[in-house]
Amino acid sequence: MMGGASGGTPPAGAGALLPSAEPVQLVGPDGQHVHDDRYPLPDGEQLLRAYGCLVAGRRINDQANALVRQGRMAVYPSSHGQEACQVAAALVLGDEDWLFPTYRDTVAVITKGVDPLQVLTLLRGDWHGGYDPHEHRVATQATPLATQLLHAVGVAHAAKLRGESTVVLAMCGDGATSEGDFHEALNFAAVFHVPVVFFIQNNEFAISVPLKNQTVAPSLAHKAIGYGMPGERVDGNDLAALLAVLGAAVNRARDGGGPSLIEAHTYRMQAHTNADDATRYRSADDVERWVPRDPILRMRTYLRALTLLGDEGERAFADKADAIATTIRKGLNTEVEVNPAELFEYVYTEKTTQLREQAQQLREELARDAAADAASVDAASDDVEHQGKGDQR
C-alpha cells in the first residue's frame, strides 16, 4: 500500500507517451550524422570526452575478463558492446544526482567517479560492496533483478519531499522487466510523480531467455504508457543519441516533469558471465551481425571525419585506459588479509543471540587451529633438533 503525500500531475495524452516507431539515432553505424528534429546532436567536446570514456570502458571489460581467467576475480558480467549505454548513463547526471546500477554496470559506476578497485571488490568475492554509496551517489551493485528500481524510486521520492533538485537514474536489463519489482517501481514513480529515469539496456537476452519469450509488447518502451509516463527508444550503440535522449529525460525529471522510461537497443557481445556458455542458445553468426554496430567504431569514425579526433588523441585515450587497467591489475593481484570476525559485525545494528554464539564459536575454532599449528611447528622443530644431535653422535 502506498503512503505519503501525492504530488501527481495529470498524465499527458496517450500519443505524447508513446515512444518513437524506430529507436532514436543521431550517428549511424557508418559514422554519419542522422538528423532528428527532436534531439539535437551533442557538441564535439562532449562527444570527445564521452568517447574517451568508451575506450576506457572497453579496456576495463577486457582487463576484468582476463582477471577472472587468472582466478583473481570470482565472476564478471561483461558489458562489452554496451559501453555506450554505460558511459551515457553516468555522464548525463550531475553531482547531486543518484545512479542505481545493476551487476553488469561496472563501467557506468567507474565512469561516475568511483574508484575501479572499489567497484570490483564485490565481484572479487568480498562480503561488501566495496565503496561508500553516499560519496559518489551511486548505489551498490547487486545481483537480484529489479530490486534496485524500488530503492531508486524511494530515493527520488525522498528528494522530492525535501524539495531537492536530485534526479535518479535507475538501470536495468530486459530480463528485469519481467519482475514484479519493475511494475511496482514504475507504478509508484508515476503515481507520485517522482524525478526518476528508468533506463533499460535491452541486450536481447535474460541470460539464455530471448526477448521474444519475455514479452509480446511492440517494445519495452511501450510499457511506459500503461503507467502514464512517456517512453522512448534509442539506439543503444549510438553514444550521441544516448546522451541526447537520456539527457532530455534527466532534464525533464529535474524540471518537475516526472518519471520516464528509456529503452536502449543493444546487444550482449559476450556471455552472460564467465560461468555461462552462450553458444548453447545463440550462434556465432548472431553475434557477428552486431560487430559492425560497435559503439566505439561508430563514434571513432564520426569524430575522425570531423577532424575532432586524430592519432595523437587516440593514443592519449588508449594510454589513459591502459593506466586504469594497470591499476586494476596490480590492485587485484595483491592478496587480501581477511578477518573472519567481520562476518558478524555488520549483519544487524545489535547482534542477535545467535550471531554472538556463532562469533564465539568461530573464535574458539580459530584459537584451536592456531594452537594446533603452533604445536605442529614445535614438534617439527624438536624433530630437527633431535636429528641434529643424532648426526653429531
Which residue has 537514474 as its cell numbers? 169
CB distance 39 to 314 below 8 Å: no
> Tens digit of pLDDT for each residue in 42-85?
999 999 999 999 999 999 999 999 999 999 999 999 999 999 99
Is the pLDDT confidence value at 22 over 50? yes
Average pLDDT, the chain: 92
Alpha-carbon span 187 to 381, nearest angstrom = 70
Burial 180-191 (b: 16+ CB within 10 A, else e): ebbbebbbbbbb
Alpha-carbon span 101 to 130, nearest angstrom = 14
> Tens digit of pLDDT for each residue in 142-199?
889 999 999 999 999 999 999 999 999 999 999 999 999 999 999 999 999 999 999 9
- Greater model confidence, 299 or 378: 299
**What residues are paired with 205 via a beta bridge?**
210
Boundaries of every domain in the chain? 18-332, 340-392
Is the pLDDT confidence value at 13 over 70? no
Alpha-carbon span 70 to 387, nearest angstrom = 42
> Tens digit of pLDDT for each residue in 90-107?
999 999 999 999 999 999
> Tens digit of pLDDT for each residue in 302-348?
999 999 999 999 999 999 999 999 999 999 998 888 888 888 988 89
CATH architecture of 18-332: 3-Layer(aba) Sandwich (3.40)
Catalytically annotated residues: 268, 272, 281
